[in-house]
């Protein structure tokens, strides 16, 4: 088994090579992001293969890297799980053919399987993989590179993607590489706080149809949409899903922040067919531009902020307070905000915004440190997204 060979070798080089072999042998061609069934003129290892063969090829790679001497065909048959040397001539010939196919598959992937003999008096050909020719060299980072990695990790604010980045940084710190993180307020971010982001990303990966309640701009209530997802794209601070709307029979683009409930499967995996000539990002940009028409009028958000918190919003706060006209227009004519300005020592600030959904995302990022006083539609939007996230978390 794989674990047996890893325990025998126990080197970082073998582990790194095993990980690389596993990624390649799985059928994904590095840098293309294409599934093996979609590869053009696929090599042997780019074709879909059984899990048994995949495990056998990985075991063979580790076995051949774990030896300094050349291993004969029969030694390989005894050591590598998945091979059966056999007793009869017919069984032994079948084993030889299986090994030859596996050897060519490894070479086609760029894994250098050497042939040779341990002594000049031994006629039988043996095989091995020299770690120096295949194993990854030791990877190190200077302080500037580590700071860049930490900054890249902090770009993501979604729980789904930040976890993987945090694990990677912890591994670097475990081997003595100290990562430096800039102050919180200086960090750039790619915002993806929408609860729908992670399930939609998985649906695109698995090529699986989904359904979700969606509130179209200007609509009174949300309607369920059944979609074949083709891609999730970030543009101008928002995340969008592009796919085929099954109910309308054509491609549509959906802003994730307008999804008002849990994203649920609506079909089996591998059932979504994405058009081969489709540029998802170009379509999202075109559709999102149309969706943004009519947006842009400046408005004022009145926010109750906990002392010492939400510095990014404080920097944008306008001086002088909200005028009576602004307060009436934004739904706070009764002075609801003023009556509660000093509640719990909180401060009230006023921030100019043009995009309702982006403003809601910025408020949500600060959690309980920021509460919307006005306008009512911004407050309702924030509450709606909190309810959607709660529904997604409970699966209801």
Alpha carbons within 13 A on the beta-carbon side of 339: 5
| Contact in structure between 336 and 375 (CB atoms under 8 Å) | no
Per CATH, the architecture of 2-134 is what? Orthogonal Bundle (1.10)
**DSSP helix/strand/coil, 353:** strand
DSSP state of 361: H
| Cis ω for the linkage preceding 375 (within 30 of 0) | yes
CATH 2.30.30 residue ranges of the chain are 197-292
pLDDT tens-place values along the chain, 396 residues long: 333 333 334 344 444 444 444 444 443 333 333 333 333 344 444 444 567 888 999 999 999 998 889 999 999 999 998 899 989 999 999 999 999 999 999 998 888 999 988 876 666 789 999 887 877 777 777 878 877 777 776 665 444 555 666 777 677 766 665 655 555 544 555 555 567 888 999 999 999 999 999 988 767 778 999 999 999 998 877 889 999 999 989 999 998 888 988 999 999 999 999 888 889 999 998 888 777 655 556 789 999 999 988 888 998 898 865 444 544 444 444 344 444 444 456 899 999 887 787 888 889 888 889 999 999 989 988 888 888 777 766 554
For helices 12-25 and 51-65, what crossing angle results, to 10°? 150
CATH number of the 197-292 domain: 2.30.30
Q: Give pLDDT, residue 13.
A: 45
Tokens standing for residue 6: 């890893």
- What local confidence, expressed as pLDDT, does residue 42 receive? 42
pLDDT of residue 381: 85
CA atoms within 13 A on the CB side of 39: 18
> Which pLDDT score is estimated for 182?
54
Burial of 302: CB neighbours in 10 Å, binned 0-12, 13-18, 19+: buried
The CA radius of gyration of the chain, in Å to the nearest whole number, is: 29
Residue 195: is it exposed, middle or buried by C-beta count within 10 angstroms (0-12/13-18/19+)? buried
Instruction: Provide the 10 A C-beta neighbour count for residue 202.
Output: 16
Q: Provide the H-helix boundaries in 269-323.
A: 280-292, 311-316
Structure tokens, 133? 């020719």
Q: Say whether 330 sits in a helix, a strand or coil.
A: coil
All CATH 1.10.10 domain ranges in the chain, comma separated: 2-134
pLDDT at site 370:
94
């Amino acid at each position: 088994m794989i674990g047996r060979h890893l325990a025998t070798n126990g080197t970082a080089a073998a582990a790194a090579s095993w990980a690389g072999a596993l990624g390649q042998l799985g059928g994904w061609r590095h840098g293309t992001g294409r599934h093996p069934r979609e590869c053009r003129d696929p090599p042997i290892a780019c074709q879909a293969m059984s899990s048994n063969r995949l495990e056998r090829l990985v075991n063979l790679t580790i076995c051949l890297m774990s030896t300094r001497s050349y291993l004969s065909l029969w030694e390989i048959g005894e050591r590598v799980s998945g091979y059966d040397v056999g007793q009869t001539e017919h069984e032994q010939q079948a084993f030889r053919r299986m090994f030859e196919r596996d050897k060519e598959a490894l070479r086609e992937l760029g894994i250098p399987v050497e042939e040779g003999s341990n002594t000049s008096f031994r006629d039988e050909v043996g095989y091995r993989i020299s770690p120096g020719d295949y194993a990854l060299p030791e990877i190190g980072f200077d302080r500037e590179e580590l700071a860049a990695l930490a900054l890249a990790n902090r770009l993501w604010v979604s729980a789904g993607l930040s976890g993987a980045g945090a694990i990677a940084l912890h591994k670097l710190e475990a081997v003595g590489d100290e990562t430096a993180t800039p102050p919180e307020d200086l960090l750039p971010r790619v915002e993806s706080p929408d609860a729908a982001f992670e399930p939609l990303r998985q649906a695109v990966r698995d090529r699986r149809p989904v359904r979700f309640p969606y509130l179209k701009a200007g609509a009174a209530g949300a309607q369920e949409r059944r979609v074949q997802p083709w891609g999730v794209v970030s543009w101008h601070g928002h995340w969008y899903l592009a796919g085929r709307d099954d109910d309308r029979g054509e491609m549509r683009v959906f802003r994730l922040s307008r999804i008002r409930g849990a994203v649920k499967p609506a079909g089996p995996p591998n059932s979504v067919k994405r058009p081969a000539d489709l540029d998802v990002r170009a379509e999202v940009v075109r559709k999102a531009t149309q969706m943004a028409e009519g947006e842009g009028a400046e408005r004022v958000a009145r926010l109750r902020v906990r002392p010492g918190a939400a510095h990014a919003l404080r920097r944008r706060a306008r001086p002088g307070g909200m005028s009576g006209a602004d307060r009436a227009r934004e739904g706070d004519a009764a002075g609801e905000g003023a009556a509660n300005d000093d509640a719990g020592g909180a401060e009230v600030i006023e921030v100019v915004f043009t995009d309702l959904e982006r403003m809601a995302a910025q408020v949500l990022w600060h959690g309980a440190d920021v509460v919307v006083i006005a306008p009512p539609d911004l407050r309702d939007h924030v509450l709606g997204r909190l309810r959607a996230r709660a529904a997604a978390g409970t699966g209801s």
